[in-house]
Homo-oligomer: A and B are copies of this chain.
Amino acid sequence: MTTYDDATSPVTLAGRRAQEAAAGLATLPRAVKDDALRAVADALEARTAEIVAANAGDVRRAEEAGTAASVVDRLTLTADRVRAIAADVRHVVTLPDPVGEVVRGSTLPNGIDLRQVRVPLGVVGIVYEARPNVTVDAAALCLKSGNAVLLRGSSSAKESNTALVAVLRDAVAAAGLPADAVQLVPGDTHDSVRELMRARGLVDVLIPRGGAALIRRTVEESTVPVIETGTGNCHVYVDADADLDAAVDILVNAKAQRPSVCNSAETVLVHRDIAAAFLPRALDALAEAQVTVHGDARVRALAEDTKATVVEATDEDWATEYLSYDLAAAVVDSLDDAVAHIRRWSSGHTEAIITTSQAAARRFTQRVDSTTVAVNASTRFTDGGAFGFGAEIGISTQKLHARGPMGLPELTSTKYVLTGDGHIR
């Protein structure tokens, strides 16, 4: 039932077209969707020159605006990168179709057959920042799961996204599917984001992918149900009974292997009984990995004979998702204190414990309430690819609907089908 009705808004009009398209997509068999995805991959390769040329305009504008080199790099599409994006689409073809899966079923005592069946969500809105590969990834995953998608990329990637969506829509239409299964939400301004957030009844779920500010704004202003993704203030707790070699390796990996991603570690908590043995070694290893440590007094006291740069930590450090070569560090008196610190400061993404103690591992995994708890493994494994989901639309850090890496099944809802022969109550 439509509750949003501003017929003059381009977002409303796009939403209505998406709803129409979604009704058609919902009943398509897998083979038809897979053919369309293959057509998309082929078209991306065939029209690479056009895509790269459009992207060059975005890259030029970003460089002229003095955008950071790392951001420009993420924005840039080369022929190789377009090929990689097309390969990702072909990989989605290989994944099982979640739609139609019978989640549970039984024959009720009265003889009625009950089946709970996966169905598409309907219209999925994605609000995302610079990286244009998200445009294709998100569209491919939505298409495979029978959903229409409304894409609202950032204005910095406008030319790239326009070119990519044109290719997607042409390919989808050529495969006999409604082109409006994939739409770029019009408008450069924040107004179109706001309209998307208020399009309850037209948009079934909104998934923000990007920085904390974008996610917070979406959560607070949206009347459309939101899946909160990707804020990762992740912790590594080094227990009194840790294997120190493993602890150093995991900590350095969790922090420094790719600091810009949400599953990198931002704080290390060290049990006091092992602090003197662990921290000097860890601080040297972190220093070698170019990491700046923000330590509490006990950490700083143990840093004196190391190569590490340790600055004083404040409460802000415990709260911060650095996404950089920075790491907060504290010594805790017990496992329970580590859990309490995590409960207070974590964003609920991923926390790891390094321990040889079965009791400690069990207590930590039971008491930490995050999407993922890792025992003797790096926080960096929280990822749809690593989990074997084949693809990922984002990592949900909320408790409703989906928690943790979201694959194709998380882009579906269910419906119950009851079959009787004249049953009444």
Contact = CB atoms under 8 A, between A and B. Distances in A.
Contacts of A1: 345-348
Contacts of A23: 343, 367, 369
A154 interface: no
A371 B119 contact: no
A401 B400 contact: yes
Interface in A31-88: none
Interface stretch (A126-134, A184-192, A281-289, A413-421): A413-421
Given A400-B401, A417-B365, A257 B387 contact: no
Contact of A418 (B375, B414, B417): B375
Given A249-B424, A416-B371, A122 B399 contact: yes
Interface in A243-265: 243, 245-246, 249-250, 253-254, 257
Contacts of A365: 417
Work out how many copies of this chain go into the complex.
2
A394 to B, nearest CB: 14
B415 A404 contact: yes
A403 interface: yes
Interface of A: 1, 23, 26-27, 106, 108-109, 112, 114, 116, 119, 121-122, 200, 204-205, 219-220, 223, 225, 227, 243, 245-246, 249-250, 253-254, 257, 343, 345-348, 361, 365-367, 369-378, 380-382, 386-388, 398-401, 403-404, 413-425
A400 B219 CA distance: 15
Nearest to A122: B399
Contacts of A343: 23
A369 B399 contact: no
Contacts of A122: 369, 399
A294 to B, nearest CB: 19
A348 B204 CA distance: 13
A27 B424 contact: no
Contacts of A404: 116, 414-416
B243 A375 contact: no
A418 B377 contact: yes
Contact of A416 (B26, B223, B366, B387): B387
Contacts of A380: 424-425
A407 to B, nearest CB: 11
Contact of A399 (B361, B386, B413): B413
Contacts of A200: 219-220
B387 A108 contact: yes
Contacts of A243: 422
Contacts of A386: 108, 425
Q: Counting chain B CB atoms within 10 Å of each CB, which of A23, A246, A366, A400 scores highest? A: A400
A235 B372 CA distance: 42
